[in-house]
Amino acid sequence: MGADKIRYLVFVQGKWRWRPTRAMKIHGFRLVTFGRVLTDADRLRALALNTEWDRARRGTPAPGVRVSYPAGSVGDGYRRAMAMRVEDRKARAIVWTSERASRDDWPRAWRWIEPVFGDVDPRTIQPEEMQGFRRRVAEKVSEGEAFRTIKVWRALWKKMAVMGYCATGADPSMAMPNTAPQPRGDVWTDREVKQLVQRAWRLGYRGLAACMAVAWDSQLSPVDLRTLTAAQRRQDGAGTYFAVERAKTGRAAAATLSRWSEAVLTAYLRGLGFDLLDNAAIFRTRHVEPTAAGGRRWLPRPYSKDKLGKDFAAIRAAVFGEGENRQLADMRRSGTVEAFAGGASPGSVSAKMANTLSASTRLQKTYAPVHIATVRQVDDAREIGRARIREQKDTESVTAPVKRVSRKTRHQL
């Protein structure tokens, strides 16, 4: 068996344990305790449990198990709709990675919809029932989860209407508003990010330090950062960049770095003590694992979603205190604020971030594919915007004319 980290497998109180989360316990999963030394059979058992959980959270049945619903029910329509989505991806030769599959809102919403409406005829559902359903999801999780669930419900209703399960204009959720929650607006400054990177490096979180430096300059999301590999690293006349396909959208992106983040990344890679394979994740933890002899060994592992969040929270608290709640993902927004303050166009920023920020996304995708020169224009605009943000007075707007910035000053930004 390999030495890769297995999800939910932890070493606690002298024994290895497969420890499910609260959400997993709702589905019937329970704590499984192994011995002090993890055997291959234990690893296989843990992997099998993870597979069961993945099927449960995505709403897909295990092989050989037939999940059926009454004909004409919501569950019956959902199964048909999901099967059609899979066939559509196959027809267009679209292959989803595990990261993209984990971000599919349909199975996520179905976890809430299925226990309440799975066996129900959609024509019998009343607006009051749907209103109460949304309120319960919001109370148990958040407004964001309730909004996402109703959004998927409305999309499912349209498909069921086409299939003849219900009438198009009779969706009971349309009798109530489904307002999206206010988006996050927190931002970081370049000085704060460099403080975080410096503290992480000094405390031994060098993989995290390099990850944050790359996040600041590249404007990649945390999931895209975690999946960066050595094979994606490129070099041109202006410096280093990563050629990536975003996990969420599948769109191509050129994640450019500055000399500062390139230096941090290079120092981190040199200090790893081993050469990374081309397809191996770059950013790794400072994980230490107990051995069978009772000792401990250094075993840096690729960052998982939870571990990256926990380590970032630890460094954030060390620098700014426990009251700080800004996230690593906020660096992506912060770069956009700098770029717009420096006069970058929405189309250029959209090319940099590989999202749909630009209003003419379809035309841009057709006639202006990602080009490294366009992306580097955004980096230049961020330098100008950074200077404006630093020098502005309280009564000034960041988009107001800025004083001339000397070449020496810009080099120091």
pLDDT tens for the chain, residues 1 to 413: 445 678 999 998 888 999 998 878 766 688 888 988 888 888 888 888 888 888 777 666 545 444 568 889 999 999 899 989 988 988 888 877 666 777 788 988 998 998 899 899 999 999 999 999 999 999 998 898 999 999 999 999 999 999 999 998 999 999 999 988 877 778 898 899 999 999 999 998 999 999 999 999 888 889 889 989 988 888 877 778 888 776 555 566 778 888 999 999 999 999 888 888 888 899 999 865 666 666 666 678 889 888 999 999 999 999 999 999 999 989 988 888 887 777 777 776 776 666 554 433 443 343 334 445 556 667 777 787 788 777 764 444 433 444 444 444 434 43
At residue 410, the pLDDT reads 39
At residue 372, the pLDDT reads 56
At residue 156, the pLDDT reads 96
| Pairwise CA distance, residues 191 & 390, whole Å | 10
End-to-end CA distance of the chain: 47
At residue 103, the pLDDT reads 75
| Pairwise CA distance, residues 302 & 225, whole Å | 11
At residue 370, the pLDDT reads 44
Instruction: Give the predicted TM-score (pTM) of the model.
Output: 0.60
Domain edges within the chain = 9-58, 74-175, 190-412
At residue 363, the pLDDT reads 33
At residue 241, the pLDDT reads 84
At residue 96, the pLDDT reads 76
Structure tokens at 88: 């559509």
At residue 312, the pLDDT reads 95
Give the homologous superfamily in CATH for domain 190-412: Intergrase catalytic core (1.10.443.10)
At residue 290, the pLDDT reads 60
Amino acid at 21: T
HEC states along the chain?
Answer: CCCCCCCCEEEECCEEEECCCHHHHHCCCCCEECCCCCCHHHHHHHHHHHHHHHHHHHCCCCCCCCCCCCCCCHHHHHHHHHHHHHHHHHHCCCCCCHHHHHCCHHHHHHHHHHHHHCCCCHHHCCHHHHHHHHHHHHHHCCHHHHHHHHHHHHHHHHHHHHHCCCCHHHCHHHHCCCCCCCCCCCCCCHHHHHHHHHHHHHCCCHHHHHHHHHHHHHCCCHHHHHCCEHHHEEEECCEEEEEEECCCCCCEEEEECCHHHHHHHHHHHHCCCCCCCCCCECCECCCEEECCCCCEEECCCECCHHHHHHHHHHHHHHHHCCCCCCCCCHHHHHHHHHHHHCCCCHHHHHHHHCCCCCCCHHHHHHHCCCCHHHHHHHHHHHHHHHHHHHHCCCCCCCCCCCCCCCHHHHHHC
